[in-house]
């Protein structure tokens, strides 16, 4: 009866916004992918870094009159600084990775308040030529085409840059550090340096996402990054579960995997839009997000477990 009372048109109207948010947050998911999969580092800095990127971008646009696209570059730089702090806490001071991320995240809360001067700062698309905005989605067909085309092209350019970078000697050293740190050290790789570098790149992408998302929603907020690590992990896991087999069989498997992560972010937000459309309590959204991540994390294990049982029976 509840499903019969729902309006399918309202779900269709919500899809453009869900896809837009998924593409923007897909950039953050790429950052999480670098630490979670390539570096094998449990980085919890991202919840604070995303808000830092948003705060820096908005305040540079509002206060310094900087062009929105240029503010994104400095949002990326601010994210890199946050990642560097986490990396140095871990490598130079010997603090465990998960605690180093928590300490940096905690510090960023106060730093973000100092950057913005208060808990949130609005930014109006009518006053500034923002790179992205939710208002663009409700515009004419050409505006929508420019918005989605620009965001998709930007994501693909980022994937291409990361693909090329991680194919270099330095990029391969980062991957070797995450794969087997002892072996990497035996090969003469400075694992501490490459750990810090990977964290800087990862959090730089998260800061860039924060700058874009603040422009998209028309404000930077102190709590805008809360739960970002869950969304990032969900995107990575969903992308791997849905497209893992497809990516493995391709020549450019690494590039396809990164694209799959971005698509995973879009799928995540589409699922969230469906949940909201079904009029489930909004206060349970975080709980549902955790359940989604748990389900997709369990799928590969369950498939392997029961797949082996099926083979054994035969």
Summarize pLDDT for 238-290 with one digit per residue, the tens: 898 888 777 776 678 899 999 999 999 999 999 888 888 887 777 777 787 77
Which pTM does this prediction carry? 0.92
pLDDT over threshold 80, residue 94:
yes
Mean pLDDT to the nearest integer, 57-79: 94
Q: What is the DSSP string of 68-101?
A: HHHHHHHHHHHHHHHHHHHHHHHHTT---HHHHH
pLDDT over threshold 60, residue 313:
no
pLDDT over threshold 50, residue 147:
yes
Mean pLDDT to the nearest integer, 80-106: 96
pLDDT over threshold 80, residue 127:
yes
Cβ–Cβ < 8 Å for 2, 278: yes
**pLDDT value of residue 1:** 46
pLDDT over threshold 60, residue 310:
no
Which residue carries 């085409």 as its tokens? Answer: 145
Chain mean pLDDT for the chain:
89
Cα diameter, the chain: 69
pLDDT over threshold 60, residue 311:
no
In this prediction, what percent of the chain has a pLDDT beyond 70?
Answer: 95
Give me the half-sphere count of Cα atoms (radius 13 Å) on the Cβ side of residue 195. Answer: 26
**pLDDT value of residue 2:** 53
Mean pLDDT to the nearest integer, 125-130: 90
Look at 17-26, 201-210, 228-237 and tell me which has the smallest mean pLDDT: 228-237
286 closest CA partner among 222, 220, 230: 230
**pLDDT value of residue 299:** 80
Summarize pLDDT for 192-226 with one digit per residue, the tens: 999 999 999 999 999 999 999 999 999 999 999 88
Query: Six-digit token pair at 153?
Result: 């092209």
Summarize pLDDT for 156-206 with one digit per residue, the tens: 999 999 999 999 999 999 999 999 999 999 989 999 999 999 999 999 999
228 closest CA partner among 34, 28, 85: 28
Query: Phi-psi category of 65—alpha, beta or left, where left has phi over 0 and alpha has psi -120 to 50?
Result: left
> How big is the CA angle at 178 (ends 174 and 180), to the nearest 5 degrees?
115
Cβ–Cβ < 8 Å for 93, 112: no
């Amino acid at each position: 009866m509840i499903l019969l009372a729902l309006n399918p048109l309202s779900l269709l109207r919500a899809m453009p916004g869900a896809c837009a948010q998924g593409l923007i947050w897909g950039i953050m998911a790429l950052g999480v992918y670098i630490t979670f999969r390539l570096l094998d580092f449990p980085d919890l800095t991202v919840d604070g870094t995303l808000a830092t990127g948003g705060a820096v971008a908005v305040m540079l646009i509002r206060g310094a009159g900087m062009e929105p696209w240029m503010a994104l570059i400095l949002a990326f730089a601010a994210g890199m600084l946050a990642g560097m702090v986490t990396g140095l806490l871990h490598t130079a001071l010997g603090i465990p990775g998960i605690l180093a991320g928590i300490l940096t995240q905690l510090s960023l809360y106060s730093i973000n308040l100092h950057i913005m001067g208060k808990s949130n700062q609005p930014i109006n698309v009518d006053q500034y030529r923002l790179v992205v905005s939710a208002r663009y989605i409700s515009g004419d067909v050409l505006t929508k085409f420019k918005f989605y085309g620009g965001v998709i092209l930007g994501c693909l350019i980022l994937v291409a840059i990361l693909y090329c970078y991680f194919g270099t000697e330095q990029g391969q050293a980062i991957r070797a550090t995450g794969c087997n740190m002892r072996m990497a050290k035996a090969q003469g790789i400075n694992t501490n340096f490459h750990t810090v570098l990977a964290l800087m790149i990862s959090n730089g992408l998260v800061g860039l996402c924060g700058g874009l998302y603040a422009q998209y929603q028309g404000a930077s907020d102190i709590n805008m990054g809360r739960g970002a690590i869950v969304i990032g992990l969900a995107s990575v896991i969903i992308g791997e579960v849905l497209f893992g087999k497809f990516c493995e069989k391709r020549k450019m498997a690494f590039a396809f995997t990164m694209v799959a992560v971005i698509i995973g972010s879009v799928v995540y937000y589409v699922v969230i839009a469906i949940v909201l459309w079904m009029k489930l309590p909004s206060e349970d959204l975080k709980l549902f997000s955790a359940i989604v991540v748990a389900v997709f994390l369990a799928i590969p294990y369950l498939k392997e477990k029961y797949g082996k049982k099926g083979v054994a029976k035969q």
